[in-house]
Structure 1
Amino acid sequence: MRRGGSSKVRGRGFTLVEVMIAIALMAVVSVMAWRGLESVTRTDSQLERRSDDAARLLRALGQLETDLALRATTELPLPAAATAAHASAQLLPTALQVRSQAALPLLIEIVRAAPAAPGQWQRVQWWQRGSSLYRAAGEARREFPLPAPDAADRVEVLGDVASFGLRAWEPGQGWRNLPAVAPARVPASGLEAELAVLPAGDGPARRFRRVFVLEGNSPG
């Protein structure tokens, strides 16, 4: 007869099968947590890239708006080669030219006041080459002819650009693609810039439009 009239039951440990099941469950939970964290990190990175892209786009359009707001009211003499191609002279202000030239489907040139040199003017050009949108400002001077911007002066203001287009609003006629090929009846009262920007990942280009009011535009 055992002492105390009762038997002591020893604690039983985990079997190998139970340990393996526990490890498998921990592995599944770990994989789910890792995938969730990866998804959050990827989404955060995409949002950050989109935010950066939107900021660059807004800066580019803001700079274009500033250039247009500072445009001069003095006529810029055109080179002979550009005069024949510039059929939109009656549509656009005298200090604003949109034309096509060799290797560039579209170039916009603005004669504007030079903020860093009061009383002086400069030629500013915008154009797309490849997937980049460039801007270049020429030397500021008080008298015409103003020098064209040098190739070394160009600055990439926006990347991943699929297309860059401009249209002018002719009152009573509607939007006209630039450069225009026919004379206008009345001067344009607005200018629209359209940019198609490629996303950071795969997907179609996103299109953005900004309309600028051409105040004080009158026939030259």
Structure 2
Amino acid sequence: MKRVARSKRAPRRAAGFTLIEMLVAIALLAVVAVLSYRGLDEILRARESLTSHMTSERALSQLFAQVNVDLRNAARDDEVGQPPVRVGGGVLQIVRNMRLPGQAPRLQVIRYRDTGHRVVREASPGISTIGQLRANLNGQADDGWSSIELASGVDGFGSEAWVPDHGFTADMSVARDQLDADIKAPTIPQAGNGPLPRSVTGVAVDIRLHGQPAPVRRILLVGQ
């Protein structure tokens, strides 16, 4: 009998991946994961920074708007007996007119100060007598005062007064000398008994936020 020769077939390859292929795939996935994480982390950091910056800008805009309102309503020098605006020492103090519906006009002392990297606005109750005015000008804010935080993350807060013929200064003696000169100035008959000129006609407010190299400055007018 003749033997039938069997055809030799190539051995079949086992299904699946080899260990080397698995290691290569895992390494590629790890690289992709690291790159994706870094990209996502940068996006999140940028978003947080932008959100924080926008929040700070909004807070500064509100703060400057409130200071502007208080300065526009500042009392006159002859109503207070001294310059109604005081700068220096990290405090901006304003004596302003307070008008409430159905009530007689009164004065109010406003203070802006930096307390623990926060700018707060302190407001006295309505003032109707000279004695109350002197007490609130020279005293500390007590239980009768209101206080509100207007900005946080502040590393510096300062202000300067614009005194006519002198320019910006943080020395209030310059403003007081200007007021004394206005009082001693000869009266013009045609002008009658008009109010004294303002010893401080403008204020520059400087606020430096945390992480910012330079302060933000706004120049505001007094009584206008």
SS of structure 1 residue aligned to 2:79? coil
Q: Which has the higher contact order (CA 8 A, sep 6+)?
A: 2
TM superposition shift of 1:10: 5.1
The answer to whether the 8 A contact 1:120-1:141 is kept is no
TM superposition shift of 1:213: 1.6
Are positions 1:68 and 2:53 aligned together? no
Distance 1:45 1:151 in 2: 38
Distance 1:174 1:75 in 2: 24
Query: Which amino acid in structure 2 is aligned with residue 37 of structure 1?
Result: L
Which residues in structure 2 correspond to 1:201-212 (within 5 Å)?
204-212=212-220
Q: Percent same amino acid at aligned positions? A: 23
1:151 matched to which residue of 2? 142
Q: How many residues align?
A: 192
Distance 1:58 1:6 in 2: 84
2:190 matched to which residue of 1? none
Distance 2:129 2:217 in 1: 35
SS of structure 2 residue aligned to 1:20? helix
1:127-160 deviations in whole A, cap 9, x for unaligned? 2234222211122255554463843422222223
1:177 matched to which residue of 2? 170
Which residues in structure 2 correspond to 1:30-179 (within 5 Å)?
30-73=33-76, 75-76=79-80, 89=82, 94=83, 96-98=84-86, 106-115=91-100, 119-121=104-106, 122-142=108-128, 144-146=130-132, 148=136, 150-152=141-143, 153-179=146-172
Are positions 1:189 and 2:201 aligned together? yes
Are positions 1:17 and 2:3 aligned together? no
The answer to whether the 8 A contact 2:70-2:94 is kept is no
The answer to whether the 8 A contact 2:205-2:217 is kept is yes
Q: 1:50 to 1:99 in 2, by over 3 A?
A: closer
SS of structure 1 residue aligned to 2:94? strand
1:80 matched to which residue of 2? none
Gaps of 5+ in 2: 183-198
TM-score when scaled to structure 2?
0.70
Distance 1:51 1:8 in 2: 69
Q: 1:40 to 1:180 in 2, by over 3 A?
A: farther
Moved more, 7-16 or 106-115: 7-16
Distance 1:211 1:99 in 2: 13
Point out the structure with max Rg over C-alpha. Answer: 2
TM superposition shift of 1:68: 1.0
The answer to whether the 8 A contact 1:68-1:112 is kept is no
Distance 1:174 1:164 in 2: 20
Q: 1:142 to 1:108 in 2, by over 3 A?
A: closer
TM-score when scaled to structure 1?
0.71
